[in-house]
């Protein structure tokens, strides 16, 4: 059974093939969010290689959850597959987690800001996904 506390902020998990990218982006997003949102990096593969690790993703989801669910953003290919496996195989231990179809960097910032101002899990997911519409030129 999925559990959610509507008084808490949703957590955010950032999944990247690179631990450095995930950790740097988590630090940036946390700074923008002001520290009240749990943002957890899940980067790199087994043995600190380039890649992804389903166990690391599952652990990050559990760590990011404060009771309001978790929004997950991923970079490319197998990162998405790893997240889907965690969600489909029940490895998140009942955490109400969702994968956002969003660009990793812009989506993470939009998600962090939305969570920091009281957005629920679906609002955070929508903000991340809406980041596809942010143009640079």
Do the domain assignments include residue 108?
yes
Calculate mean pLDDT across residues 84-108: 96
Q: Which domain holds residue 88?
A: 11-131
Give yes or no for a contact between 121 and 99, defined as CB atoms under 8 angstroms apart.
no
Is it the case that residue 121 has pLDDT exceeding 60? yes
Do the domain assignments include residue 36?
yes
**Nearest Cα residue to 51 out of 69, 68, 70, 74:** 74
How high is the pLDDT of residue 1? 47
Do the domain assignments include residue 5?
no
- Categorize the per-residue pLDDT at 3 as very low, low, confident or very high, splitting at 50, 70 and 90: low
Do the domain assignments include residue 2?
no
How high is the pLDDT of residue 7? 73
Percent of the chain with pLDDT over 90: 90
Q: What is the CATH number of the domain that holds 55?
A: 3.40.50.510
How high is the pLDDT of residue 124? 98
Distance CA 104, CA 77 (A): 13
What are 18-64's pLDDT values in tens digits?
Answer: 999 999 999 999 999 998 999 999 999 998 899 999 999 999 999 99
Q: How many domains are contained in the chain?
A: 1
CA distances from 114 to 12, 37, 43, 70 (A): 11, 10, 23, 13
Do the domain assignments include residue 48?
yes
Do the domain assignments include residue 38?
yes
How high is the pLDDT of residue 127? 98
Do the domain assignments include residue 18?
yes
How high is the pLDDT of residue 48? 84
**Nearest Cα residue to 121 out of 18, 12, 16, 35:** 12
**Nearest Cα residue to 130 out of 110, 109, 104:** 110
Do the domain assignments include residue 1?
no
């Amino acid at each position: 059974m999925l559990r959610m506390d509507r008084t808490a902020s949703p957590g955010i998990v950032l999944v990247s093939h690179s631990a450095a990218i995930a950790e740097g982006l988590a630090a940036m997003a946390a700074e923008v969010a002001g520290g009240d949102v749990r943002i957890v990096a899940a980067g790199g593969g087994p043995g600190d290689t380039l890649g992804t690790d389903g166990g690391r993703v599952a652990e990050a989801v559990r760590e990011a959850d404060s009771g309001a669910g978790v929004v997950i953003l991923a970079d490319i290919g197998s990162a998405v597959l790893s997240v889907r496996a965690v969600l489909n195989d029940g490895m998140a231990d009942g955490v109400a987690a969702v994968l956002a179809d969003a660009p990793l960097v812009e989506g993470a910032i939009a998600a962090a800001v939305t969570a920091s101002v009281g957005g629920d899990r679906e609002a955070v997911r929508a903000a991340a996904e809406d980041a596809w519409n942010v143009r640079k030129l």
